[in-house]
Structure 1
Amino acid sequence: MKCISVRHRIDYRYDHQVLLSPHRFRLTPQPDSHALIEGYSFVLQPANRLYWQHDVYGNKMVRADFTDRTDFMSVQVTLDIKQNSFNPFDVLVDDESQRFPFLYPAIVKNALLPYLQIVDRSSALTAFVGCTEKFHGETLSFLVKLNMQVCNHIRYVHRLEQGVQSCEMTLKARTGSCRDSAWLMVQVLRRLGLASRFVSGYLIQLDTVSGDAVELHAWAEVFIPGAGWVGLDTTSGLFTSEGHIALAIGPGPEQVAPVEGLTELCSVSMTYQFELTNH
């Protein structure tokens, strides 16, 4: 077991005093994360009132109302975490879903409809999905091969622009950020008839060649009867484990933005920093 503290700070600076609309912050860990969250704090400046809420997908978030003009906004999240090793393959897949392709039972499919919606029907995506037929077989093995296919096909780039690329753009460029490849995986899975969702969270990596690290990250999850929601990190090509701390989950990227709100017209700069401490 490893005990870790994470501090995440985001600072916004505006070139003049502005009014801020109510903002929503999805920066609270999901209760069923693979790691044990022992402590959590959220500090925002400035703010008149903070309201703890849940959205329709069950994500816990903070709504902040601002009354006065300001030339800055700062948010700091602190987490105390206990990490236990987690084996994502230690699951019992239902008999009917042991091999892919399979069909969801009707009652299960009805509950999963928001996560089966196909929004990208580009020819590039159709061609990519067609190449995955050779992976059909035992379900978890299929997911391993599919995840590695996306990882190997899309070169990771650190992209600062807001938003998520279309699947067609990601496939044609063969590059993308973690959120771009995660969204590609979501749409690939749905084309294959598998319910999938988009996840925003923290990725904690310990004892790597470059040392310990933590960052905001995005990945996909697929629903397999018996196993539940299985996380696929398309950046590494691995299944998610104890280092993946989910903050917000939804059908697509627009439902899981870490920070959401409007600002009066201005020039703004944003900086962020992470600190990770082992105990």
Structure 2
Amino acid sequence: MKYIRFDNVFTYSTKGVIMQAIMVWLVAMSTPWAASTGEHPEIKSRAFHFTYEAQMTDIPEMSESVLMWVPLPVTTTLQTIKGMNIVSSHPYNIVTDETYGNRFVRIELTDTQIQALEVPPHITLNFDVVRKAMVPMYTPFAMPNIDRSKLDQYLADSILVVSTGPIEAEAARIVANETDTLKQAQLLYDNIVDTVTYDKSGDGWGRGDSLYVCDVRTGNCTDFHSLFIGQARSLNIPARFIMGFPIPIGPKEGDISGYHCWAEFFHNERGWLPVDASEAQKHPEMREALFCGLDENRIQFTQGRDIVLPMAKGGPLNYAIYPYAEVDGKIHTSFKTRFHFKDAE
């Protein structure tokens, strides 16, 4: 059986695309793995238990109100969340941001509850995850069921991710006369991997400031993908920011020191396609696999930038992965956190 890379499907005329799509679909459905599970045996998956712990600390005496939010992971085509158990020091509710649909656990304390505190406000999430890799070579063609009326929000600038000025100029130079969306995205991705260095030294990194990384050419995953998103949008390619955690390769259990993020861009025939330029820069052997593909060693929590939390007064969040709190309407940043994974037996 010969498997066809899906990126080759898009090098033909409109008529050719339709015919090629039909051929790929027929080939895919003729195989037992596609007919039964839709997956190829070489697509890896990883099952693990995840714990997210967050506790507020140093709450000022005589405070009158406390609000705390913790993001919830999401089930997607690449990951399944099961057995969610939420343990909270106080009664909670689940709220959703209106722009992106991210969900959060929220607790609210009044002055009477604050003065009677026996334990600090805290929220713990325990749940099981099955995460699948996305392997471009073995992904059958499929017309996605996507609400295209919402794509405009993924073309609009955010506070720190802009698509004009030097961002637009660099993108135009990189793609030159290329008009194919997939090839444009790969040119942007390749240029970022080649010219931006994963480096968390100095000031300014980690904020996801597209202008900063366009100029300095260093940063972490937030910076890499802010540049990609800004440049994709400048070419009228919808793109979005995905936030989660990395799951270490090798250990079967352990704490996770911090977040990881990647990006997705929208293709009219394939739907949302991922890129992880920062990991590709750190691991050149994964460069091809991380364009329109992802490994299984991660978990997704939220998407988007400038996230507006219901009832929050501190303004939009740059991105959402860590706990957020307000005391008397002011941002509170003192927390104890722990993020832990354990591979399934």
**CA distance in 2: counterparts of 1:274 and 1:52, whole angstroms:** 20
Matched, 1:22 2:29: no
Offset at residue 200 of structure 1 (A): 1.6
1:203 to 223, 228, 246: 246
In the other structure, the counterpart of 1:261 is 325
In the other structure, the counterpart of 1:229 is 272
In the other structure, the counterpart of 2:189 is 147
In the other structure, the counterpart of 1:124 is 166
Q: Which gives a bigger RCO, structure 1 or 2 (Cα 8 Å, sep 6+)?
A: 1
In the other structure, the counterpart of 1:111 is 150
1:216 to 259, 265, 268: 259
In the other structure, the counterpart of 2:300 is 246
Deviates more, 1:168-177 or 1:267-276: 267-276
Offset at residue 145 of structure 1 (A): 4.0
Classify 1:152/1:216 alpha carbon distance in 2 versus 1 (closer, same or farther; 3 Å): same
Counterpart code for 2:217? R
Offset at residue 113 of structure 1 (A): 1.1
2:88 to 33, 40, 44: 44
**CA distance in 1: counterparts of 2:332 and 2:236, whole angstroms:** 44
Classify 1:167/1:12 alpha carbon distance in 2 versus 1 (closer, same or farther; 3 Å): same
Q: Is the CA contact 2:206–2:221 (under 8 Å) kept in the aligned structure 1?
A: no
Offset at residue 251 of structure 1 (A): 5.4
- 1:201-224 CA-partner distances (Å, limit 9, x unpaired): 22224238x997744222211111
Q: Is the CA contact 2:156–2:233 (under 8 Å) kept in the aligned structure 1?
A: yes
**CA distance in 1: counterparts of 2:241 and 2:324, whole angstroms:** 17
**CA distance in 1: counterparts of 2:60 and 2:306, whole angstroms:** 34
Q: Is the CA contact 1:178–1:217 (under 8 Å) kept in the aligned structure 2?
A: yes
- 1:176-213 CA-partner distances (Å, limit 9, x unpaired): 232222222211110011011122222224238x9977
Classify 1:111/1:274 alpha carbon distance in 2 versus 1 (closer, same or farther; 3 Å): closer
- SS where residue 257 of structure 1 aligns? coil
Counterpart code for 1:277? K
**CA distance in 2: counterparts of 1:75 and 1:171, whole angstroms:** 38
- SS where residue 135 of structure 2 aligns? coil
**CA distance in 2: counterparts of 1:196 and 1:252, whole angstroms:** 15
* TM-score, normalising length: structure 2: 0.63
2:228 to 179, 185, 208: 185
Aligned length: 262
In the other structure, the counterpart of 1:170 is 213
Offset at residue 16 of structure 1 (A): 3.9
Matched, 1:86 2:99: no
Q: Is the CA contact 1:23–1:63 (under 8 Å) kept in the aligned structure 2?
A: yes
- 1:105-125 CA-partner distances (Å, limit 9, x unpaired): xx94x4311111135255332
Structure 2: segments with no counterpart, 5+ residues? 1-44, 281-289, 308-316
1:54 to 80, 96, 115: 96
Counterpart code for 1:250? G
If each structure's helix is expressed as a fraction of its own residues, which one has the higher value? Answer: 2
**CA distance in 1: counterparts of 2:216 and 2:267, whole angstroms:** 31
Counterpart code for 2:339? F
Q: Is the CA contact 2:52–2:124 (under 8 Å) kept in the aligned structure 1?
A: yes
Structure 1: segments with no counterpart, 5+ residues? 95-106
Offset at residue 20 of structure 1 (A): 4.5
Matched, 1:272 2:272: no
Offset at residue 32 of structure 1 (A): 1.2
In the other structure, the counterpart of 1:10 is 54
